[in-house]
Amino acid sequence: MQTNQQDKIERDLFRLCDLLQQQGLDLTKIGITGSLLVGVQKQSSDIDLVCYGRDIFHQCRAITRELIEQEKLQELNDNDWQQSYQRRSCELSFADYVWHERRKTNKAVINGRKFDLNFIDELKRSEATSYQKCGVITLQCTVIDDTHAFDYPAEFKIDHEQFDSVVCFTATYTGQAIKGETVEVSGIVEQTRQGIKRIVVGSSREAHGEYIKVISA
């Protein structure tokens, strides 16, 4: 029975990869993680794809969007979104959560099974910088650069007199905003020795009271 269950999941994975490849995706830049990687998947397991490289990740998102429009893949249904929302336990309303998540196109459904797209940046980022916590803040600002919106941590450069960026350490708000949008941010203020300030969302596992919400798209 276990073998049959695994075969069903693997067939869904192979079908998904076939669809992506038909749309021009280079599968040598795609991997898997989660239960499938170590062979402990169950009938209810999701498929977790890993995209190696920023261009590949965004191409995969675009293809996923196209395949949904062609009805070869499906969006998450209401029950899927409810389960996702309950797991996140975030500060947004359910309606706001779904609105933000749906447009990211980093998850969809194939043959009734949910899959997620994960991004790995193979390029080396800048050296680590030391920050000191300086309090909490809620403000509104405009995103001027979303290049690293899906990184870990996610980073949104903002147009603000005091703060250089919003940095996010929780997957809930990864990819949350697009360049040019106005957002409301609630998080922890951090500052370097040089006086550069940023706002951190997801400063703890629960991240109570911390969020990023688009208020003008």
Average pLDDT for runs of 10 along the chain of length 217 = 64 96 97 91 92 97 98 96 92 96 97 96 76 95 97 96 96 96 97 95 84 94
Helix or strand (DSSP H, E) at 199: strand 197-201
Q: Would 126 be classed as within a structural domain?
A: no
13 and 89 within one domain: yes
Q: Would 108 be classed as within a structural domain?
A: yes
Q: Would 125 be classed as within a structural domain?
A: no
Q: Would 147 be classed as within a structural domain?
A: yes
106 and 19 within one domain: yes
Q: Which pLDDT value is given to residue 103?
A: 97
Cα separation, 199 vs 156, in Å, equals 10
Strand-pair partners of 32: 49
CATH at residue 163: 2.40.50.140
Q: Would 9 be classed as within a structural domain?
A: yes
Residue after which a domain boundary falls, among 89, 120, 151 = 120
SS3 161: coil
- What's the domain range around 114? 2-120
Q: Which pLDDT value is given to residue 2?
A: 47
Q: Which pLDDT value is given to residue 127?
A: 67
161 and 67 within one domain: no
CA 137 to centroid of chain Cα atoms: 23
Q: Would 127 be classed as within a structural domain?
A: no
Q: Which pLDDT value is given to residue 125?
A: 65
Cα separation, 52 vs 47, in Å, equals 16
Domain count, the chain: 2
Q: Would 109 be classed as within a structural domain?
A: yes
Q: Which pLDDT value is given to residue 126?
A: 66
82 and 9 within one domain: yes
144 and 113 within one domain: no
172 and 112 within one domain: no
Do the Cβ atoms of 201 and 207 come closer than 8 Å?
yes
Return all residues near 13 (Cβ < 8 A) that are at least 6 apart.
Answer: 32, 36, 47
75 and 150 within one domain: no
Q: Would 56 be classed as within a structural domain?
A: yes
Residue after which a domain boundary falls, among 120, 153, 187 = 120
Residue after which a domain boundary falls, among 120, 147, 162 = 120
138 and 54 within one domain: no
52 and 143 within one domain: no
Tokens of 186: 């609630």
